[in-house]
Amino acid sequence: MARFLLGALIVFVIIFGGIFLHFVQIWIRAFAARAPVTIVNLVGMRLRGIPPAMVVNARIMAVKAGLEMSTDGIEAHYLAGGRAEKVVRALIAADKANIELTFQQACAIDLAGRDIEEAVKLSVLPRVINCPPSEKGRKSTIDAVAMDGIQLKAKARVTIRANLKQLVGGATDETIIARVGEGIVTAIGSSETYKRVLENPDVISKKVLEKGLDSGTAYEILSIDIADVDVGENIGAALQARQAETDKQIAQAKAEERYAMARAEEQEMSARVEEMRAKVVEAEAEVPRAISQAFREGKLGVMDYYNLRNIQSDTSMRETIGKKEPEGNG
């Protein structure tokens, strides 16, 4: 039993000594770097599942760069899922570049999924993006039409830098590209003639910059440079030609409609003439009946009848002569 206890004690001493030596190395490194950490803190980190070496290295970097940083803040950021070493390196770079950036801001940017180191670098070294982007499947120019109807095709280069205060929740560079494109279209569209744009392309840049297109984005626009402007189609003339063709088709349709209505009216009038003729024939058929009725009632004598027949014969003769005279004259 005594041997078992002695063996267990030796094993415990060896394990405890190894752990102690491990923490002592980290403690000595922190102490030598003037960023002291207590052994209790190191053990607590291990128990909380935090790599003590990472925390100590991050604090050493901060202290050597002249930044005051506690291990509690680093531990809290690590437990929240952040990248503590990236945050510390970004804070050091921002401090050297005289960029205002607090530890809380850096942690928030990192937890938001942004690369805090790249953001600080972008604040120091601005980046140039093409508008529109040079990608397959996308238009290579921004097309707009001036007030005189001439189309212009423009390309722009936008210089941006990161705005650390709006990096969390701010729009990406896709929003910058869309807004710049919209501004170029508006600037060209408000120009009286395309020649003015070709003579002074910087007019577009000035009008676009005045709109504050970087509002609500994670970037600050430093400049907008018009890289190229080409003349496209005469959109105004093309639209006028299309309008004229449309007006022609409308006029033709209306003319055909009027012609159809005239034809229908003509047919209707012909039908009415035939109807009136039928009524005349019907009325003429009533004449013999009326004469007979007059004879029976004694209202018409024989001489009256003969006079009537003479008048009818004379009228018929005159009609026949009237029809033959034009042919003889011909």
Task: Say how far apart CA 286 and CA 301 lie, in whole Å.
Answer: 19
| Residue recorded with tokens 């972008």 | 122
pLDDT at 330: 46
Q: How many CA atoms lie within 13 A of 286 on its CB side?
A: 6
pLDDT tens digits for range 211-236: 888 888 888 888 888 888 888 888 77
Bigger pLDDT: 50 vs 9: 50
Phi, psi of 290 (to 5 degrees): -65, -40
pTM of the model: 0.60
What is the pLDDT confidence band of residue 96, given thresholds at 50, 70 and 90? confident
At 263-278, the pLDDT tens digits run 888 888 888 888 888 8
The domains of the chain, with CATH numbers, are 13-124 (no CATH), 127-237 (3.30.479.30)
Over the chain, what is the mean pLDDT?
81
Cα distance between residue 319 and residue 239, in whole Å = 66
| Three-class SS state of 268 | helix
